[in-house]
Amino acid sequence: MDYMDSGMKYTPNKGQDIDWDQDVTFLPAADGKKLEKKKGPGRVGAVIGIVIFAAVIALMTGLLVWHFHYRKDTRIKKMYSGSMKITNQVFEDTYENSNSTEYRALAEQVVKQLRTLYHKMPQLAKYYVGSSVQAFSEGSVIAYYLSEFDVPHGQEAAVDKAMSSMDKVVDKVQRGLQNSRPGNDLLFEDIMNSALDSRMFSESFSEYYRYSEHTRANTIVPIMSPGFPNTPYPPNTFTQWQLRADPGHVLKLDFDTFNLEEDCRNDFVKVYDSLVAIESHAMEEICGYHSPSSPLIFQSSRNVMLVTLVTNNENNYPGLRAHISQIPRNSKELTCGGQLSGETGLFTSPNYPNYYAPNTKCEWDIQVPAGKSVKVKFSTFLLSELGQENTKDCNKDYVEINNKRYCGEPPTSPVVTSDTNTMKVVFYSDASYVDRGFSATYETFESTDQCDSTQISCKNGLCKPQFWECDGVNDCGDDTDEQNCGACKAGELTCQNGKCVSEKKRCDEKDDCGDGTDESDCGRIMNNVQCSDSTYKCENNKCTNKENPECDGTPDCEDKSDEANCDCGRSLFKTSRIVGGQDAEEGEFPWQVSLHIKNAGHVCGASIISQHWLVTAAHCVQDDAKTRYSQPGVWEAYLGLHVQKQNSKNVQKRNLRQVISHPYYNAYTFDNDIALMELDSPVTFSDYIRPICLPSPQHTFPQGNSVWITGWGATREGGSGASILQKAQVRIINSTVCNRLMGGQITSRMTCAGVLTGGVDACQGDSGGPLSSPGTSHMFLAGVVSWGDGCARRDKPGIYSTVTKFRGWIKEKTGV
């Protein structure tokens, strides 16, 4: 029985699986001496002495009673997981069976060795409770263990530091053992440990489930959450699967069903490149719903893997099912890097578009014809990792080209060029946290190629339109177009209004910029912030200077009103970051509405903002000679619809009670192009029907930010409407640049978004639909599809009504 089977209560000498050490040292009794009777200073002195002595005794008694009875025990249970390589042992198959004699004997030696190590470190010895071995694996033999410490409050950091320095003690102990030529002592190296995620040994757990699976050649082993597929997974449980492959193989973990609560603070799965939950070997933490059409596949770096599932006491979901298989290490599937030649070609990170494995290194040597240069373009670049805060250093997972490292999720995919006809590309992943990786193409180019007079010549060899220069977006991919833009001097902050102020004035509780830039996003609640057009106003009429504070999971207002009414902007699906097909998943954008004219079909889109109200475009509800679009009786609203003309069980149809077009809508300029629709009866929210969050009037959607457009409109200019809901990712475009491109037709109530190279845009039939902008954990309605010059034309972005400009009007008419 291990800690998981015993509800995390360690009982020394109870059961046979865990033999906790019990080194107990008793304090020696005081050496009593006879008290000699001596002459006192007199009767009065004796009385005073007795009174003082009684007072001292009473005080000491009170302190002792308080200390042992009333004082709270402030000790904290700390669990550490770890592994060590035993170099003088050879792995046996019996070590896979925790009930075998061989397993128990070796486990006992490991526990003894750990006790010896901890007792050589004073900071650990006094708090050490015990250890248990969780598993063994090949190479020579790797032991995986858990150790428990009972740590006084305030000493946690000291214990963490001591645990992190164990390698020094290990070296000293090993040298001693080698010099003494031990007979039965274990020799070990590569010892590593980390504090166990506290969520994995919660006292609230009512059930523990532990499974072990060993897949073989040509065999696929299924694993599934408890109760799957008949019932949701149980509450307050910890489940783990220890997975193994044959030696010389790696594991492939393929989830075909994954449906957990969307907040990882509640229910989550964690995958480890290990047989115990060592955080330095964590590959990914996952929650929410993942579509079968967006694969969720992981590979291990060795022949072991651990999958854990933690659930709390609320909102239990269907759960998960995955399939385990093994891949030979020498298979073509696992090879990467090599020689690349020719005029052009494609290469990707291993396992792309699925997660690459940890501990991977690939090198590509690209060579193009002599006299040419090499250009590498990344169409997808996803190398984010927990703990890699500084993407300039890229000290964890990265791609390296020309001695420069790239990592994270850059807003624009990198483009890199060489000065010669060769280039080396290196991909590296460390032992923890993996991502989807990259897809890249290489091609030749003439280094003497010149851009024409209307273009910027980027340092990487690209040519970009001149009007993209100094628009705040890195269009070149190497910042050429954003350099020398007349920015403020070193040590100064550039305000949004162009003013320069000293960096020392940032977050000093004074609006030195005059537009709130220097006091925005200061990461604290400001009780005396002067309200302005750029500050967020709380319900109590006080203001906070944090940029976009609403629904970000952190209360920034004293009355916490910025986190109220946040049951919005969440979808069943996690929107895929992979650039690819345009079909949206069912439930991916649950606020999307299809507006039909009765007996005529889909005409416009709309967005759900409450159980009673929709937002759409004013130009959708203007009468013409044939149809009175302004009248609610001609409309039908389909909510939860995914495929046109397919009314599934997830669809709800509503008629309209009223249509409210903005009073200042201009049919010639499309200014104020927004309208409201009230449903004739409230809609029932579900996984497929949910509202999108409305931004505050002060909410900002910065240029360059990625946003989503959705609808059933024409998939090309002049084409027919789509059957399946379409999605496309575009970015917010600088309003000055946009106004220049659109011939001066952009007003302050319009937002531009698109891909200026063309090919991605909203089109006829998408009108009135949402421009959805991802926040911290919620989607916000940034705009309403309004107009454009054709569809998806080069240098012709889509134009959207800016919702923040109409927030007061929406509130006045709907109460939302």
CA dihedral 702, 693, 290, 297 (to 10 degrees): 20
Supply the DSSP string of 730-755, one letter for each residue: EEEE-HHHHHHHTTT---TTEEEEE-
For helices 156-164 and 166-180, angle between their N-to-C axes, nearest 10 degrees: 40
Cα gap 621→470, rounded to integer Å? 39
* Paired tokens of 148: 């428990």
Gyration radius of the chain over CA positions: 33
Query: Do the Cβ atoms of 678 and 732 come closer than 8 Å?
Result: no
pLDDT of the residue at 751: 95
**Which secondary structure element, helix H or strand E, spans residue 137, and what is its range?**
strand 128-138
Comma-separated ranges of CATH 2.60.120.290 domains in the chain: 208-328, 336-445
Adjacency order of strands within the sheet including 344-348: 344-348, 437-445, 373-382, 415-417
User: In terms of pLDDT, which residue wins out, 734 or 131?
Assistant: 131
Average pLDDT over residues 787-792: 69
Residues 6+ apart with CB under 8 A from 388: 394, 395, 396, 397, 407, 408
Catalytic, out of 249, 619, 642, 662? 619
pLDDT of the residue at 314: 82
Is residue 619 part of the annotated active site? The answer reads yes
Backbone angles phi, psi at 107, to 5 degrees: -60, -40
CA dihedral 141, 142, 146, 149 (to 10 degrees): 90
Q: How confident is the model at residue 82 (pLDDT cuts 50, 70, 90)?
A: very high
Cα gap 182→175, rounded to integer Å? 11
pLDDT of the residue at 578: 43
3-state SS record for 494-511: ECCCCCEEEHHHCCCCCC
Supply the DSSP string of 317-376, one letter for each residue: --EEEEEEEEEETTSGGG---EEEESSEEEEE-TTTTSPPPSSEEEEEEEE--TT-EEEE
For the chain, give the mean pLDDT. Answer: 84
Comma-separated ranges of CATH 2.40.10.10 domains in the chain: 592-814
Q: Class of the 592-814 domain? A: mainly beta
Among 235-239, 554-558, 690-694, which is the least confidently predicted range? 554-558
pLDDT of the residue at 487: 63
Residues 6+ apart with CB under 8 A from 501: 492, 493, 495, 512, 513, 518
Q: Which fold has domain 336-445?
A: Jelly Rolls (2.60.120)
Q: Which fold has domain 488-564?
A: Low-density Lipoprotein Receptor (4.10.400)
pLDDT of the residue at 3: 39
* Paired tokens of 409: 């999720």
**Is 462 strand, coil or helix?**
coil
Q: Compute the half-sphere exposure of residue 809: CA atoms within 13 Å on the CB side of its CA.
A: 17
Comma-separated ranges of CATH 3.30.70.960 domains in the chain: 75-196
Q: 520: left (phi > 0), else alpha (psi -120 to 50), else beta? A: beta
Catalytic, out of 767, 772, 773, 801? 767
Percent of the chain with pLDDT over 90: 51
Q: How confident is the model at residue 170 (pLDDT cuts 50, 70, 90)?
A: confident
In tens, the pLDDT along 610-619 reads 999 999 999 9
Average pLDDT over residues 286-308: 90
Query: Do the Cβ atoms of 204 and 313 come closer than 8 Å?
Result: yes
pLDDT at residue 70 above 50?
yes
Average pLDDT over residues 667-677: 96
Domain 208-328: CATH architecture, name and number where available: Sandwich (2.60)
Query: Do the Cβ atoms of 686 and 640 come closer than 8 Å?
Result: yes
Catalytic, out of 273, 556, 673, 761? 673
Backbone angles phi, psi at 53, to 5 degrees: -60, -40
Identity of residue 31: D
Selection from 714, 708, 716, 712 nearest residue 764 by Cα: 714
Is residue 795 part of the annotated active site? The answer reads no
* Helix intervals (H) in 181-327: none
Cα gap 240→200, rounded to integer Å? 10
* Paired tokens of 436: 């989807």
Q: How confident is the model at residue 531 (pLDDT cuts 50, 70, 90)?
A: confident
pLDDT at residue 518 above 60?
yes
Q: How confident is the model at residue 515 (pLDDT cuts 50, 70, 90)?
A: low
pLDDT of the residue at 749: 96
Domain 75-196: CATH architecture, name and number where available: 2-Layer Sandwich (3.30)
CA dihedral 227, 228, 229, 234 (to 10 degrees): 50
Cα gap 810→589, rounded to integer Å? 21
Cα gap 19→147, rounded to integer Å? 12
Residue 529 DSSP one-character state = B
* Paired tokens of 595: 């507006």
Selection from 443, 328, 296, 470 nearest residue 379 by Cα: 443
Is residue 254 part of the annotated active site? The answer reads no
- Measured from the Cβ of residue 719, the count of other Cβ atoms closer than 10 Å reads 13
* Paired tokens of 7: 């509800």
Burial pattern 254-274, b for ≥16 Cβ within 10 A else e, equals bbebbbbbbebebbbbbbbbb
Q: Which long-range contacts (CB under 8 A, 24 or more apart) does 122-131 make?
A: 123/158, 123/159, 123/161, 123/162, 124/149, 124/159, 124/162, 124/163, 127/78, 127/151, 127/152, 127/155, 127/159, 128/21, 129/10, 129/20, 130/10, 130/12, 130/18, 130/20, 130/21, 131/20, 131/21
pTM of the complete model: 0.70
pLDDT of the residue at 714: 72
Cα gap 300→283, rounded to integer Å? 9
Query: Do the Cβ atoms of 382 and 409 come closer than 8 Å?
Result: yes
